[in-house]
Amino acid sequence: MTATTIPEMFLSVCARYEGNPNKIAYTHRSEGAWHPLTHEEVRQQVELFADGLLRYGLAPGERVGVVSENRTEWVVVDFAMAGIGIVDVPIFPTLTAHQEQFIFNNCEATAIIVSNAAQLRKVLEVWDEMPTVRLIITMNEHLSDNPRIVSMQSVMERSRAESTPQERRTKFTTLASRVRSEDLLTLIYTSGTTGNPKGVMLTHRNLTANVDSALHTIDVTETDSFLSYLPMCHSYERMTGHYLAFAAGASVYIAESIESVAELMKEVKPTIMTSVPRLFERIRARVLGAVERDSPIKQKIFRWAMKVGERYDEGDRGVFTVLQRAIADKLVFSKIRERTGGRLRFFVSGGAALNHEVGRFFRIIGLTIVEGYGLTETSPVISAHRLGDVVLGTVGPPLPGVEVRIAEDGEILARGPSIMKGYWNDDAATRECIDADGWLHTGDIGEFTEKGHLRITDRKKHLLVSSGGKNIAPGPIEALIMQSPLIDQMMLVGDAREFCTALIVPDAEAVRTWAEKNTVKYESQETLWTSPELHRAMEADINKLQRELPKYERVRRFAVITKPFTVENGLLTPTLKVKRKAVLAAHAETIDHLYERPE
């Protein structure tokens, strides 16, 4: 890809499929129906909206907030603003009104685009405290009589009434050609775990360089179909499930919600899907849970198939093993793959480390997971597996054009054209993150394998230091213990403590199945979750799983938490990572109880 700006890429791809009414660029499912858009239809809507924004007084260089779930309008808004030099500031629609207020005041947004009435209400709650915001645009139909609140349709209708299609095309093409690679494309505010978020400044060159590197790494073609469900306001999905897919000419199916993903996979039959490890963990847990509820003969067949698959995965290609693998695939593995639609070439996993056993489970059943690694500050991908060279426990070699080295203290450093311009209005934080030689300090601890694959150990700031001075990386321990089918979520505790403990959220479905199988009586989910029988079963699982760990890394005690960690209660980031400091604060009393008795 030769494009160095997003509008240059956009116009190039649209020209490639000009006059092809059968090539779908994006399609969004809402209220049970699909709404497809061809490349020409996307281009027409982008030109209409871009022209309309200018007619409503917005200008290049201004910052405009976007508060929306995934939908085709999000894509139109993104390409339109990029094409006329407006800097978009996309945020998670789960943020509170006061969190939005901080972000839009920090970047001095002049307008905010919201998806629906619920998002509008949040903005209206704090509009008086956002002095620079002069216009609100709603993606849904007209939601207010206030002249400063207009619908996206009204913006486009004004353009349609005041210009011709050819005038709009000429105008957009001209303005797009004036956008420079070093111009700011977007401000993405990192969710963070404490304090106020920082605005990551990403230029057109940052994103196009990352797309170009990914195109040379990840095998994506115009015959592929993506199923997109992760938030497009996050840099991971925006680059992979939006820009990368579009640049390759693939079709993108936008899910209406995360809850609909399981059904949509069977309906859409995607060939590629980006996700986070949490989904893979849940899929594996659901499969294993379903097996536990099956008849004894089906359980026996499944376990036989997995043993055959493990031998095959370990390199046994003897005639007998190959024959057994074919039978296992027909009886078991193919049926699991059918749940993904049956056409899936590979998953892309990012956002957090993928547990080795989870990755191996998918490989055994015939589903490839290409794992990548990166940060919002790196646009975002730093490294990724290549098809045919997926090494579990690593995140692959660095992308072409991205330099990576390991500092003396084990921290991963990255340098290259996809490294952010800096943090918005925060030179001190920028200098702390990017050194004088241009190396970005990721905050992650890692190492290279002999074959040049990057292996992530943990977040530098997440390392626990016991009262005895032992450094403990919680990530691998949590991933290990969460292999218990009874455990859905877990957080290791142990910083400045004598020993490690854990907060555990049970897997509701797996625990119900366990209770039925073991004839454990209970009155409610809470009484079951806090029952001594479940505690003993979890303790047995934990001890079995952690037996190979050093003593100082083992969980000595744990508490069951009856309310899951969620985005809504502030204990998970929007990409489903645990907010450790928030969890520590929310469950401080429970944690203190775990340490009341001496070891």
546 shares a domain with 428 = no
By C-alpha distance, which of 302, 284, 428 is closest to 363?
284
pLDDT, tens digit, 9 for 90 and up, residues 162-189: 999 999 999 999 999 999 999 999 999 9
Are the C-beta atoms of residues 301 and 374 closer than 8 Å to each other? no
Cα–Cα dist 68/138, whole Å: 10
Cα–Cα dist 490/502, whole Å: 7
437 shares a domain with 514 = no
397 within a domain of the structure (yes/no): yes
Cα–Cα dist 156/174, whole Å: 19
How much is the pLDDT for 470?
81
Tell me: pLDDT of 62 over 90. Answer: yes
Tell me: pLDDT of 192 over 60. Answer: no
Final residue before a domain boundary, out of 426, 460, 494:
460
263 within a domain of the structure (yes/no): yes
Are the C-beta atoms of residues 368 and 346 closer than 8 Å to each other? yes
199 within a domain of the structure (yes/no): no
What average pLDDT does the segment 432-451 reach? Answer: 95
544 shares a domain with 418 = no
CA–CA distances in Å: residue 535 to residues 296, 463, 484, 556 = 26, 27, 13, 13
581 within a domain of the structure (yes/no): yes
Which residues, in sequence order, are bridge partners of residue 321?
none
Mean pLDDT of the chain: 94
471 shares a domain with 419 = no
581 shares a domain with 557 = yes
By C-alpha distance, which of 346, 404, 401 is closest to 373?
404
207 within a domain of the structure (yes/no): no
- Rg of the chain over CA atoms, in angstroms? 25
144 shares a domain with 257 = yes
How much is the pLDDT for 187?
99
437 shares a domain with 544 = no
pLDDT, tens digit, 9 for 90 and up, residues 220-270: 999 999 999 999 999 999 999 999 999 999 999 999 888 889 899 999 999
The pairing of strands 135-138 and 149-151 is parallel
The sign one gets for the Cα dihedral 411, 413, 419, 423 is positive
Distance from the Cα of residue 571 to its chain's centroid: 16
Distance from the Cα of residue 249 to its chain's centroid: 22
CATH of the domain at 505: 3.30.300.30
Are the C-beta atoms of residues 179 and 87 closer than 8 Å to each other? no
State the pLDDT confidence band at 461, using cuts at 50, 70 and 90.
confident
508 shares a domain with 426 = no
Q: Which domain holds residue 427?
A: 275-342+345-460
How much is the pLDDT for 193?
44
Is pLDDT larger for residue 192 or for residue 315?
A: 315
203 within a domain of the structure (yes/no): no
DSSP state of 535: H
How much is the pLDDT for 574?
79
By C-alpha distance, which of 409, 408, 413 is closest to 377?
413
3-state secondary structure of 275: strand
Are the C-beta atoms of residues 87 and 185 closer than 8 Å to each other? yes
How much is the pLDDT for 352?
79
User: What does the angle CA 217 – CA 219 – CA 223 come to, to the nearest 5 degrees?
Assistant: 150
186 within a domain of the structure (yes/no): no
Least confident of 206-215, 230-239, 565-574, 584-593: 565-574
How much is the pLDDT for 252?
98
Contacts of residue 355, Cβ cutoff 8 Å, sequence gap at least 6: 277, 281, 479, 480, 482, 483
Final residue before a domain boundary, out of 409, 432, 460:
460
283 shares a domain with 229 = no
267 shares a domain with 281 = no
The pairing of strands 24-30 and 33-38 is antiparallel
What average pLDDT does the segment 491-502 reach? Answer: 93
405 shares a domain with 382 = yes
State the pLDDT confidence band at 191, using cuts at 50, 70 and 90.
low
What average pLDDT does the segment 539-567 reach? Answer: 94
What string of H, E and C letters represents the secondary structure of 290-350? HHHHCCHHHHHHHHHHHHHHHHHHCCCCCHHHHHHHHHHHHHHHHHHHHCCCCCCCEEEEC
Tell me: pLDDT of 542 over 50. Answer: yes
Could you give the number of structural domains in the chain? 3
What dihedral angle (degrees, nearest 10) is formed by the CA atoms of 329, 330, 332, 336? 80
Tell me: pLDDT of 547 over 60. Answer: yes
236 within a domain of the structure (yes/no): yes
Burial label, 321 (beta-carbon count in 10 A; 0-12, 13-18, 19+): middle
524 shares a domain with 473 = yes
Final residue before a domain boundary, out of 460, 488, 516:
460
pLDDT, tens digit, 9 for 90 and up, residues 109-136: 999 999 999 999 999 999 999 999 999 9
CATH of the domain at 135: 3.40.50.12780
What dihedral angle (degrees, nearest 10) is formed by the CA atoms of 177, 182, 186, 187? -160
- Output the six-digit token pair for 454: 């990057």
How much is the pLDDT for 195?
63
How much is the pLDDT for 599?
67
